[in-house]
Amino acid sequence: MQVVGVIPARYASTRLPGKPLIKISGKPLLQWVIEGVQTSQKVNEFLVATDHEAIAELAQKCGVEAIMTSSDLPSGSDRVWAAIEDRQVDVALNIQGDEPLISGTLVDALAEPFFDSVEVVMSTLGRLPSLEDLESQNTAKIVLNHNSEALYFSRFPIPYSRNSIQDSPRGCLKHIGLYGYRKSFLKKFCEQGPVEIERAESLEQLRALYLGAKIKVVQVDHESWGVDTPEDVGKIEQILAEKR
């Protein structure tokens, strides 16, 4: 099975323009991501999908092929599709380009369901949430069925609409925003375009549920640390220093 990991890395960012090129402890953010995922045992090839020449040059210096994609694409998944549409690919992994602490082990967890069953068309990751995660509308939560498939995603503290969060069991996972797609389903997903529940929550994975897809959710221990603001750079550098 041909598994390709695609790192969408566009230049424009409302809060942090040129984010993939920003230095963290002396190395560009994108370089941290590339070096982290290359320890994967299940991915045959990694690509960077970008709209900027400087990002493409950095990817190539890191030994990864860069695919130029349009700046007008509406989501990371659309950028992944643009990168693999004409390639012989069975499974495409959408890997966040702004998480410098990502590892090959995490990427392999995302890919594993496709090796386990030919019925799987989409996968994602989740972890046990903290109380802060439950209360934050910047964090997506997942409610699962008994097969570890997503029932729904929300920025609100589901399934707690009638109870205090503090008094309720944590019947959900914190979503970690990496996605795996069977190529045939990614085509269907991107051709559909945004749907109403997706717009309401600003969560593109709800489009897959709208289409009737089952999303396999793998529980991991990884804490998600994305870089969205200049303050996040300092936090990541502190974490890296502690790890050393």
CB 215 within 8 A of CB 113: no
Report pLDDT digits (tens) over 76-85: 899 999 999 9
CA distances from 116 to 33, 149, 197, 216 (A): 26, 14, 30, 11
pLDDT of residue 74: 82
Cα(91)–Cα(163) distance, rounded to whole angstroms?
Answer: 40
**Average pLDDT value for residue range 71-80:** 89
Span 123-132, average pLDDT: 92
Report residue 161's pLDDT band, with 50, 70 and 90 as the boundaries: low
pTM of the entire predicted model? 0.93
Cα gap 83→70, rounded to integer Å: 10
Is residue 146 predicted with pLDDT exceeding 70? yes
Average pLDDT over residues 2-26: 89
Q: What is the pLDDT of residue 165?
A: 58
Please tell me the predicted confidence (pLDDT) of residue 223: 82
- 46 pLDDT higher than 90: yes
Does residue 11 register a pLDDT over 60? yes
The yes-or-no verdict on residue 169 having pLDDT over 60 is no
Tens digits of residue pLDDT in 178-221: 999 999 999 999 999 999 999 999 999 999 999 999 999 999 99
**Residue where the block lists tokens 């069953």:** 117
Q: Where in the chain does DSSP place strands (E)? A: 3-9, 23-24, 27-28, 45-50, 65-68, 91-94, 122-127, 141-144, 150-154, 173-182, 215-219
**Please, which pLDDT band fits residue 157 given cuts at 50, 70 and 90?**
confident
Confidence of residue 102 (pLDDT cuts 50, 70, 90): very high
Which domains are delineated in the chain? 3-243 (3.90.550.10)
Mean pLDDT score across all residues of the chain: 92
pLDDT of res. 13: 73
Give residue 33's identity as a one-letter amino acid code. V
